[in-house]
Structure formats: C-alpha cells, structure tokens
Amino acid sequence: MSTAAARKRKREGDAKVSEMEKDAKKVFKAAPGDNLSFDLGETFQGKFAEGITLSEATVTVMNRFAEERKAVTFDEVTLEDKPSNYHPNDVKLETFISRRISLKGAGIISAAMDTVTEAELALALAKMGGIGILHRNLSVEEQSAMVNWVRRKIHFGGMIDKPIVFHENMHFSDMQATIAAHGYTFTSFPIVNDKDCLVGLVTRDEMEFAEHHNPILKDIMKLRCSIVTAPEGTTRIDAYTIMKAKHVKKLPVVTTDGRVKGMYVWSDVRSDEQKRENFSLDHKGNFLVGAAIGVGEDDMRRVKELASAGCPLLVIDSSHGACKPALDQVRRIKLAFQDQFDVVVGNIASYESAMYLLRGEYKPDALKVGIGPGSICTTRQVTGHGIPQLTAVYQVWRAVQDYGKETGYYVPIIADGGIRTSGDIVKCFAAGASAVMMGGIFAGTKESPGQVIQKGGKTFKTVRGMGSRSAMEERSGSRHRYHRESKKTGVTETPSQ
C-alpha cells in the first residue's frame, strides 16, 4: 500500500471512529463496575467436566503419527463416516470459545488482523452467531470505541440513527431531485422546521398523491400530532413493542426538545426480532465482541479502557504465546480485573507450550493454536518454526487433557489459521478444537476494512499479515506482536501471522 493510500485510509478510519465514539458516548456512560462482570450461564467446565472427548479411533491414529514423528494437516486427512441416530436438523452448533463464553455459530471467530476485523465485520459476525476480535493496530481509543459501538448496536437494530430529513418549506420537486441524485431507495422522510424539530412525515402515500402538482412539503406531510414517536433512548425491543401495538411502520425517535434523533423501520425491526435467536449476545443483551491486546505492561491501559467499554473477551496476541511476558500479562489482568474478562492466550503449537501456559499461577481461559498455517503467513519460511495444524491442535488437546486430569481445570482450544473450506473446520473439531479463527476467508467481505482495488473489471480487497512491512511500519501493534520495536526509521519485515 502506498504512503498516500495509507494516509487516506487512516483519515477515513479516524472519521469513522470519531462517529463511533460519538455514538458510544451518547448511549453509554460506564459506572464503576458497570458491564464488567458477567455470567454467561452454563460454563465449559459445567458442560464438559472432563474436557472435549475425542473418538478412540482419532486418538489411536494421531498417537501413531506422533510415535512415527509424523505431523499432518488438513489435506492429509479425511474423516470416516459413522452411524448416527440424529438428523442434521437436530444438531446444535453451539460451542465454547473460552471457559465462560459460547457461540451459537459453530465457534466461528474472525482473526485480529487490520485488514480483516474492525467494527463492521465484528457486528456482522455477531448477528450470525460468531464473534470478531478487533485488531490491536488500533489506538486504545479507537479499539474501545469500536467495542462500545458493536456491543450497543443491538439496541439500534432497525434504527436509522442519521435519517435523511427535508425542510417543511422545500418543494416536492426539489425533494424528488434530491432522492434521485443520491439514489435513495427508501420512501419515508421526517420533515423538520428551521429549528430542526420534527413537524411531520412524508411517506410513499403522500408522494403518490402529489404526483401532478408541485406543493411545498408542509402542505402534503402527515402532521406531527398524527405521528407516533418515541423518546430518545428507545431500544429496539421497545420500538418493536410500540410499533406492533400501534400498527405503525415508521417510528421517529425525538429528543426532549423535538429534534429528530433517529427512526425505526418496521421491516428492519421485525427482521432483527426474527433473527435474534441466532445472535451472539451477552447476558445483558449486547452483541459479543472481543479485542486483541499485547503482552506489555503499557497494554494495561488498553485493558482498562476495554473493561469500561464492556468487552468480555481479551485475546493476548503474540507470535510466540508460550513466553513469560504472556504469563505475566495474564497475571496482571486476573489480579486487576478478577473475573471481568475471559482471557485467551496464543499462539502456540505444541504440548510443551500448552503445559507451560496451563501451569502458570494465573491460567488462561482458552488456548489459541497455530504457528505458520495461515495462507499469507511466512513464519515457517522466515523462522523455521511451526507444526502442521491438525497435529498442533491434537498435541495441545493432549496437554489440556493431561493437565485437566491432574487438576480438574480444562480449557477450550481455538484453531487459528490455514482453514480454506468448511471441511477443514470439521477436521479441527475432530482433532480437539472447540472453535476456529479465520482471516483470509473474511478478508474479501464487504464488511472487512481492507482497501478496495479494481483490476480487470473485477473488485478485490487487500489483505496483509500483521507482520508484513506495511503493517509494522504503520502501527506499533504489529511490532509488539512480533516483539520488534525498532528504533530505526525502517522496520525489518518479520513473519506474518
């Protein structure tokens, strides 16, 4: 990415985050301890008292590979069919990604990469039963604002928080020209006066009856006295109740002084209500979202802000997760915030590394597995480190089982990287994982923050590793991830993860 393009992307990102911060401040003022502690119901330990159980055949095969000093990845393994007494429609896809947090969408997690997961993708995943991990190339303020925005978006489901309004003295033809120029596909607009206060509403019905003349809008609009409105702070659930009871399809939200704050649309509110059972929500009804942090003491300021924003899940994101700084960070978080967060630690890829983290004084709530399996990752080429992913997952599963039998403490495993198909996800589960983290699969989506490129009449989005030269030169998060904080002007490229 060119320097000019990078600057442009940063400006666009700053503007976007500024809007999110404004939204967050308007809807959320954290009181001491507010939205920090959480009880998400049934825990991993309660559901799986002896951890995840693998089939005897899987254990036998994987142990034989280990004895022969062979390691396997996705393309080297296929699964054998077995008899089943269940219909596919009866299968529940809910799984745990940490000791207290479960997802309804098969444990799908988006990677903490700056071309993959920011607020929009995190929200989209939460609406589909997954969760997004916001990358740490964001500033503390940007990341906490995005957490707040995603969590609270459930209360804006169906609400247009910046509705298009028209002045009461505008002519109908001018309104039509504006709609055509901007390509608006909706047909309901609040009408305001000189003080920006709501005075009426123009819908498709009013437009159709004004077809053969050119009145001013205040002559054709529905008057304020005949419009059902809601006060500022009305949640999606409240809006659904009001609109269903009053049989209205548009519900303007107004402040105490009459200004238009937003507008709920029945089709959107109803759609969210119908899909709600698939949403990833915490016990207070907010969307679930996680955030990546580093291993340094200075990251505790980030943790504090994330706590205030109500983030329930932290991912200590390091290229070499089995290290003393990672254990020290777990200790600092657990001492300062007790059980306010579930903490995932990674990345690791071996039995010994898993044991090292589990035997720490303060223990992780999940382990993230994968060194070098990602499609754009160069860790294995640059450093020579890494274990084929299925073997890595299985070896960490063995460690969790052995440690659990000794102590009764079991944790879920997140398989991170190398997944190209849905079949690879199933293989991860068969090898001992409870959840999967993916980057490349989501990088080309509309919601990802990557730069859009037009080439040969086709549209593409950029994706880069967090250890790539551009990522490490632009932000310190990538440098910290790879323990590389250069004092020189340039940054030596290191493995991307």
- Catalytic positions are 377, 481
Number of alpha helices (DSSP H) and beta strands (DSSP E) in the chain: 18, 20
How many angstroms separate the CA atoms of 407 and 357, rounded?
A: 14
Helix (H, G, I), strand (E, B) or coil at 371: coil
Residues 6+ apart with CB under 8 A from 396: 348, 349, 350, 351, 353, 354, 367, 369, 413, 432
* Cα Rg of the chain (Å, integer): 25
Looking at the DSSP assignment, which residues form a beta bridge with residue 189? 202
Q: Is the peptide bond before 148 cis (omega within 30 degrees of 0)?
A: no
- Measured in whole angstroms, how far is the alpha carbon of residue 155 from the centre of its chain? 17
- DSSP calls for 163-218: ---EETTSBHHHHHHHHHHHT-----EEEE-TT-BEEEEE-HHHHHHTTTS--BGG
How many angstroms separate the CA atoms of 405 and 416, rounded?
A: 25
The tokens describing 291, both together, are 């955030």
Whether the CA torsion 352, 354, 357, 363 is positive or negative: it is: negative
How many angstroms separate the CA atoms of 344 and 364, rounded?
A: 6
Are 439 and 497 in contact, with CB atoms under 8 Å apart? no
Distances (CA, A) of 175 to 167, 197, 217, 263, 472: 9, 18, 9, 19, 48
The tokens describing 206, both together, are 């009013």
Distances (CA, A) of 157 to 26, 131, 255: 16, 17, 19
For residue 138, count CB atoms less than 10 angstroms from its CB and return exposed for 0-12, middle for 13-18, buried for 19 or more. Answer: buried
User: Backbone dihedral region of 386: left (phi > 0), alpha (psi from -120 to 50 degrees) or beta?
Assistant: left
Helix (H, G, I), strand (E, B) or coil at 425: helix
Distances (CA, A) of 86 to 83, 128, 434: 9, 24, 20
DSSP single-letter state for residue 338 = T
